[in-house]
């Protein structure tokens, strides 16, 4: 019977077994997340948990049955998904952008879990001059092969940054001089009325319930795309492209990406 892996990985490279996962982490491999059998004991399991916490790698305790669905091989109670790209440090990138005379344009994604939406947003962001994508460490689409394919390779051409505490990261962006603009249908003003010049972070939320209230409260401005038809809303990846195109229009055709 052929080896199969759950679609939960969304194309990320799988590694299973306690020692192989430890070795991958110690070798500096980028890890999307780790699933660990609930109640797993032993010295190697403790070593793995220590590494995960030290390096802020997302992990989840799951029943044995879930791991058995991921692989028929001996997983030893541990299954990891490796990312297809290396993550960048947002707060090392920002000074470089400012020093080069560019106004940073960061796309912040709050709980975008659909891999096709994620890939399409990354593609639009790279094409339209964004400097980085900011994701939460948990509750985001896996940065795997499926996302790479959907992005048409853009995932390897734009920095992808992850932060364990997205709320704190947004506050730090404000402290660094960026204005936070929420792209939300729950706004009276339209994006065509907003000032989208200068250092900017565009915040986009999940299709289910939009941007989290805690993040909305941090935003300097909220704006919506005017809707003239009968359909209630646009797909989040389409909305991202429209907002980014308006940023280019306001900044001028020669704006630096």
Domain residue limits, the chain: 7-82, 90-251
Backbone angle region of 48, left / alpha / beta, with phi > 0 → left and psi within -120 to 50 → alpha: alpha
Q: How confident is residue 194, by pLDDT bands cut at 50, 70 and 90?
A: very high
Q: Tell me which of 5-19, 134-148, 156-170 is least confident.
A: 5-19
The topology (CATH level 3) of 90-251 is Alpha/beta knot (3.40.1280)
Instruction: Indicate yes or no: pTM above 0.85.
Output: no
The topology (CATH level 3) of 7-82 is 60s Ribosomal Protein L30; Chain: A; (3.30.1330)
Q: Give the model's pLDDT for residue 178.
A: 97
Which tens digit of pLDDT belongs to each residue from 38-57? Answer: 999 999 999 999 999 888 78
């Amino acid at each position: 019977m052929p080896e199969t892996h759950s679609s939960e990985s969304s194309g990320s490279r799988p590694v299973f077994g306690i020692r192989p996962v430890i070795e991958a982490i110690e070798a500096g491999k980028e890890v999307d997340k780790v699933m660990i059998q609930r109640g797993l004991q032993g010295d190697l399991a403790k070593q793995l948990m220590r590494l995960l916490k030290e390096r802020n790698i997302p992990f989840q305790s799951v029943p044995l049955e879930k791991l058995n669905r991921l692989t028929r091989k001996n997983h030893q109670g541990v299954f990891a998904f490796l990312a297809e790209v290396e993550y960048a440090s947002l707060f090392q990138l920002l000074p470089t952008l400012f020093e080069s005379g560019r106004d940073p344009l960061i796309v912040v994604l709050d709980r975008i879990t659909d891999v096709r939406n994620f890939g399409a947003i990354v593609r639009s962001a790279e094409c339209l001059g964004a400097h980085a994508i900011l994701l939460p460490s948990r509750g985001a689409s896996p940065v795997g092969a499926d996302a790479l394919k959907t992005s048409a390779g853009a995932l390897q051409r734009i920095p992808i940054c992850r932060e364990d505490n997205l709320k704190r990261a947004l506050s730090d962006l404000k402290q660094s001089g960026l204005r936070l603009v929420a792209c939300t249908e729950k706004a009276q003003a339209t994006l065509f009325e907003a000032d989208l010049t200068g250092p900017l972070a565009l915040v986009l939320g999940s299709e289910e319930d939009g941007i989290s209230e805690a993040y909305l409260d941090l935003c300097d401005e909220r704006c919506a795309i005017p809707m003239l038809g009968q359909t209630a809303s646009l797909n989040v990846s389409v909305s991202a492209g429209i907002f980014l195109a308006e940023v280019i229009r306001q900044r001028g055709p020669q704006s630096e990406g």
